[in-house]
């Protein structure tokens, strides 16, 4: 098995709040896990902001998002989905590394 | 009956036709509505003014400028209309320093002085210079970067006939250019008195010569008929210069009141639109005529043109069709091939035929192209979309096609490129659209246009490797590169290698193409990628394209990108429909369309 550790959900969620907060201010810190970000952040979470969020999450967790293969609009609609998406990508990567 | 009525009768049924629109507010119309209310001293009566202010503020980009629609790059046109309308509503500008800074970024020298361009990298023109001088001085309270050089540039607009043109190298005098030049000078004069930089006697004489026996004004001696647009610009310019029309103009304006008491653009046209009332009220004020007797009717009519959620369009929102949406609706409907229209005598013409007929009605006197909305100036993109949708396809339309050809020939800028409409600075999008129009007309570019100048413009935009393109000082993008290569193809100098290189550089691994880099694919870039590859006869990787179309398509329509919500509206649906038909093999090649 890979030695890489998959962070716990709460830890991942906390880090997602922090990363998005650097870009969007306090909104992501106070938003509910399942609250749509378009609702929590209003016009600030438009498609350009979402694109920037994807980039920041990629950099923060060392993953790569495929805008076509991944359903980014779904995955990046709420904080919970982002955190679960990140954990899924990290798990996939760990499996691949183990195979290698 | 005016000459305009005789020249352009509009079938009454068309006003209720099945042409398509967005039902959303239009920026120009919103500005015109607010300005007209301000002229009449009735802005306080604007209903739901905060919603309109919100609509205007939503056009502001993070760079400080404003855009025609959300997501588009900033330009001087939108920046002026948004900031002026906000000022008319008594609303403060959000972060005016940022707007002033963006405006400074469009300041450009051209050898005859310095003036403003519509966007960074473009050549300066009098449209943009008027917009940005007024925005800078009156709205932002800033100063122009170099007043003396701006006055020199404005002075160089005067032609030997006395009129002003679009830029110092342009050869056509036009009352719109005269007004924009005069209004820019007037804004400067309001800060510190300075003489007009023209032979004012010659300029006013030329303007007065554009008045017709009916009393209205025409754009220039080349224009066929007088119109309300030219009448407002001419009378306002004369007023700024301290002069008056040679003959009374007020009776001609007042004849054009419709049933509600607001204005129509000509007798017999049943729609009293925001455009006509804006021009009529502006012209009445310019000649010192009273407006109190028309104010109630105009205010009531403008109120009826308000869109739900703020902003205004040119007529009742449910009937406010536009050329792009209507062409898009035809293109999205793949059930009938272009040209399969019923005869005009058919008792039940199809929706498709009705829409194409409406598109053809967007060709008015004086400018041969198609307008975005009735009574605006002809626009290159709208003309390309209209022709692509099947307008003027039959043999009987040859005269209309010749008018389009002459119009395209006449609006080529001295630098060889084209702008959105007559007199606007060149950029690749409009230049590629102009070439697409020429291709549609079945003409050869070197026969219709100044090919050497066109080649020189594209060369200035293309990088040394022929694979990138951008306006000077701006970042290259895939779409600009593809547009340049489509122009090259029309000049007989296309490079399949350059197109392949561009496509490889912006190909997104999972499907589609990205405008910048190779990360986020978008509909427009993917459409232009396939259309350009088709033009060059390059093979299509259908599976790569299908992965993208499957992601952006849903039962609700086509999204602009995998990140954008739901349907992007009729234009996105049209491009998406064409792409899907291409990937399914129902189309052998995509039509050459460009949007932004």
Q: Which helix (H) or strand (E) holds B108?
A: strand B107-109
- Look at B565 and A47 and tell me if their CB atoms are within 8 Å: yes
Alpha carbons B319 and B576: distance in angstroms, whole number: 25
Specify the 3-state DSSP secondary structure of B173: coil
Sort B175 into a burial class: Cβ within 10 Å, 0-12 / 13-18 / 19+.
buried
Half-sphere exposure of B135 (CA within 13 A, CB side): 34
The answer to whether position A29 is within a domain reads: yes
Strands B557-558 and B553-554, bridge-based pairing: antiparallel
Threshold 0.80, pTM exceeds: yes
Q: What is the pLDDT of residue B12?
A: 38
Residue found under tokens 């719109």: B176
| Structural domain boundaries, residue A80 | 9-98
Q: Do B562 and A72 touch (CB under 8 A)?
A: yes
- The 10s digit of each residue's pLDDT in B35-53 is 999 999 999 999 999 999 9
Count of CB atoms situated within 10 Å of the CB of B368? 21
- In Å, how far is A58's CA from the nearest CA of chain B? 12
Cα–Cα distance between A82 and A61 in angstroms, integer? 11
Q: Is B257 helix (H, G, I), strand (E, B) or coil?
A: strand
Contacts of B70 in chain A (CB under 8 A): 46
User: Would you put residue B537 in left (φ > 0), alpha (ψ -120 to 50) or beta?
Assistant: left
Task: Give the C-alpha separation, B4 to B1, whole Å.
Answer: 8
| Model confidence pLDDT, tens digit, residues B533-563 | 999 999 999 999 999 999 999 999 999 999 8
Contact B71 A48 (CB under 8 A): yes
Instruction: For residue A71, give the 3-state DSSP assignment.
Output: coil
Say if A3 falls within a structural domain: no
Closest CA to B58 of B91, B20, B104: B91
Under DSSP, the state recorded for B317 is G
User: A3 and chain B: CB distance < 8 Å anywhere?
Assistant: no
State how far residue A59 is from chain B, nearest Cα, in angstroms: 14
Whether residue A1 is contained in a domain is answered as no
Asked if B389 contacts B331 with a C-beta cutoff of 8 angstroms, the reply is yes
For residue A79, give both structure tokens.
């904080």
Q: What is the mean pLDDT of chain B?
A: 91
Q: How far apart are CA A31 and CA A20, in angstroms?
A: 11
Question: For residues B559-582, b (16+ Cβ closer than 10 Å) or e, as one string?
Answer: bbbbbbeebbbbbbbbbbbbbbeb
Domain contains A54? yes
DSSP state of A46: S
Measured between beta carbons, which residues in chain B are less than 8 angstroms from residue A73?
562-565
Which chain B residues have any C-beta within 8 angstroms of a chain A C-beta? 58, 70-71, 508-512, 519-521, 547-548, 551, 560-565
Which has the closest alpha carbon to B163: B242, B108, B238?
Answer: B238
Q: How far is the C-alpha of B133 from the C-alpha of B149, rounded, in Å? A: 13
- Identify from A63, A68, A71 which residue to disrupt to test chain B contact, counting B C-beta atoms within 10 A and taking the largest count: A68
Q: Is B52 helix (H, G, I), strand (E, B) or coil?
A: helix
* Tokens describing residue B79: 């920046």
Burial (0-12, 13-18, 19+ Cβ within 10 Å), B105: middle
Nearest CA in chain B to A73: B563
Rounded to a whole number of angstroms, the distance between the first and last alpha carbons of chain A is: 10
Convert the pLDDT of each residue in B177-199 to its tens digit: 999 999 999 999 999 999 999 99
* Residues in chain A closer than 8 A to B515 (CB atoms): none
- Which among B509, B563, B565 is the nearest to A51, CB-wise? B563
Cα–Cα distance for residue pair A88/B515, rounded to 1 Å: 29
Number of domains chain A contains: 1
* 3-state class (DSSP) for residue B359: helix
Segments making up each domain of chain B, as ranges? 31-319, 322-333+350-411, 507-589
Closest residue, chain B, to A53 (C-alpha): B563
Q: Please tell me the distance from the alpha carbon of residue A84 to that of residue A61, in angstroms, as a whole number.
A: 12
Q: Please judge whether B509 and A48 are an interchain contact, meaning their C-beta atoms are less than 8 angstroms apart.
A: no
Measured CA distances, B533 to B237, B513, B537 (Å): 48, 12, 6
Instruction: Judge whether A49 is closer than 8 Å to chain B, CB to CB.
Output: no
pLDDT tens for each residue of B228-285: 999 999 999 999 999 999 999 999 999 999 989 999 877 667 789 999 999 999 999 9
C-alpha angle B391-B230-B272 in degrees, rounded to nearest 5: 65
Domain formed by B31-319, architecture:
Alpha/alpha barrel (1.50)
**Whole-number pLDDT of residue B15:** 46
- Give me the CATH number covering residue A38: 1.10.1200.10
Residue B308 has pLDDT above 50, yes or no: yes
Q: Are B166 and B423 in contact (CB under 8 A)?
A: yes
pLDDT, tens digit (0-9, with 9 covering 90-100), for B362-412: 998 889 999 999 868 899 999 999 999 999 998 999 999 999 999 999 999
Residues 6+ apart with CB under 8 A from B464: none
Instruction: Tell whether the model's pLDDT for residue B339 goes beyond 50.
Output: no
Q: Which residue has the tokens 């028309």?
A: B294
Is B520–A66 a contact, with Cβ atoms under 8 angstroms apart?
Answer: no
- The span from the CA of B163 to the CA of B177, in Å, is 8
Distance from CA of A99 to the nearest CA of B (A): 23
Residues of A in contact with B579 (CB under 8 A): none
CA B563 to chain centre: 28
Within 8 A of A72 by CB-CB distance, chain B residues are 562-563
Model confidence pLDDT, tens digit, residues A1-45:
445 678 999 999 999 999 999 988 889 999 999 999 989 988 778
What is the spatial distance between Cα B406 and Cα B247, in angstroms, rounded to a whole number? 32
Render the burial of B180-212: b for 16+ CB within 10 Å, e for the rest: bbbbbbbbbbeeeeeebbbebeebbebbbebbb
């Amino acid at each position: 098995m890979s030695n890489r550790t998959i962070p716990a959900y709460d830890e991942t969620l906390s880090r997602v709040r922090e990363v998005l907060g650097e870009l969007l201010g306090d909104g992501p810190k106070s938003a509910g896990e399942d609250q749509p970000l378009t609702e929590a952040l209003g016009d600030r979470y438009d498609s350009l902001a979402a694109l920037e969020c994807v980039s920041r999450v990629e950099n923060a967790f060392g993953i790569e998002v495929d805008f076509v293969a991944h359903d980014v609009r779904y995955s990046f609609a709420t904080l919970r989905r982002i955190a679960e998406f990140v954990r899924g990508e990290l798990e996939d990567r760990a499996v691949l590394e183990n195979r290698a | 009956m005016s000459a305009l009525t005789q020249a352009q009768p509009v079938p009454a049924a068309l006003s209720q036709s099945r042409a398509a629109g967005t039902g959303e507010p239009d920026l120009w119309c919103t500005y015109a509505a607010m300005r007209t209310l301000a002229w009449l001293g009735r802005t306080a009566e604007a209903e739901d003014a905060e919603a309109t202010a919100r609509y205007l503020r939503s056009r502001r980009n993070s760079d400080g400028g404003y855009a025609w629609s959300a997501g588009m790059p900033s330009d001087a046109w939108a920046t002026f209309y948004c900031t002026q309308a906000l000022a008319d509503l008594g609303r403060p500008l959000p972060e005016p320093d940022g707007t002033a800074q963006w405006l400074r970024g469009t300041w450009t020298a051209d050898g005859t002085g310095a003036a403003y361009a519509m966007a960074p990298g473009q050549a300066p023109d009098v449209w943009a210079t008027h917009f940005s001088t007024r925005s800078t001085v009156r709205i932002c309270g800033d100063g122009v970067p170099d007043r003396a050089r701006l006055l020199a540039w404005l002075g160089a607009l005067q032609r030997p006939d006395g009129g002003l043109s679009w830029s110092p190298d342009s050869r056509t005098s036009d009352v719109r250019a005269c007004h924009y030049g005069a209004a820019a000078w007037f804004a400067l004069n309001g800060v510190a008195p300075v003489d007009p930089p023209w032979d004012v006697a010659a300029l006013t004489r030329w303007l007065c010569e554009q008045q017709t026996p009916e009393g209205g004004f025409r754009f220039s001696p080349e224009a066929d008929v007088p119109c309300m647009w030219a009448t407002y610009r001419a009378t306002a310019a004369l007023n700024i210069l301290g002069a008056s029309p040679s003959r009374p103009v007020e009776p001609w304006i007042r004849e054009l009141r419709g049933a509600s008491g607001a204005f129509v653009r000509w007798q017999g046209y049943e729609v009293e639109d925001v455009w006509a009332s804006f021009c009529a009220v502006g012209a009445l004020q310019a000649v010192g005529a009273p407006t109190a007797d028309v104010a109630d009717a105009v205010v009531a009519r403008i109120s009826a043109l308000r869109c739900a959620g703020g902003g205004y369009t040119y007529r009742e929102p449910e009937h406010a069709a536009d050329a792009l949406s209507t062409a898009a609706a035809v293109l999205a409907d793949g059930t009938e091939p272009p040209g399969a229209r019923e005869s005009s005598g058919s008792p039940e013409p199809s929706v498709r035929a009705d829409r194409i007929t409406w598109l053809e009605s967007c060709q008015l006197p004086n400018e041969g192209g198609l307008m975005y909305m009735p009574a605006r100036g002809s626009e290159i993109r709208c003309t390309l979309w209209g022709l692509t949708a099947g307008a003027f396809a039959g043999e009987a339309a040859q005269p209309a096609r010749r008018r389009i050809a002459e119009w395209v020939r006449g609006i080529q800028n001295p630098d060889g490129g084209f702008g959105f409409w007559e007199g606007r600075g060149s950029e690749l999008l409009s230049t590629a659209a102009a070439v697409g129009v020429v291709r549609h007309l079945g003409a050869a570019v070197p026969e219709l246009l100044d090919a050497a100048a066109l080649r020189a413009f594209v060369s200035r935009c293309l990088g040394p490797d022929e694979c990138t393109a951008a306006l000077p000082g701006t970042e290259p993008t895939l779409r600009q590169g593809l547009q340049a290569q489509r122009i090259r193809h029309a000049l007989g100098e296309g490079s399949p290698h350059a197109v392949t290189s561009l496509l490889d550089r912006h190909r997104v691994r999972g499907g589609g193409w990205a405008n910048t880099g190779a990360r986020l694919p978008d509909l427009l870039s993917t459409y232009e990628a396939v259309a350009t590859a088709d033009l060059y006869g390059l093979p299509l990787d259908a599976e790569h394209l299908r992965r993208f179309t499957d992601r952006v398509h849903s039962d609700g329509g086509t999204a602009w990108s995998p990140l954008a919500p739901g349907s992007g509206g009729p234009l996105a649906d049209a491009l998406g429909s064409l792409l899907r038909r291409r990937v399914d093999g129902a189309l052998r090649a995509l039509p050459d369309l460009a949007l932004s």
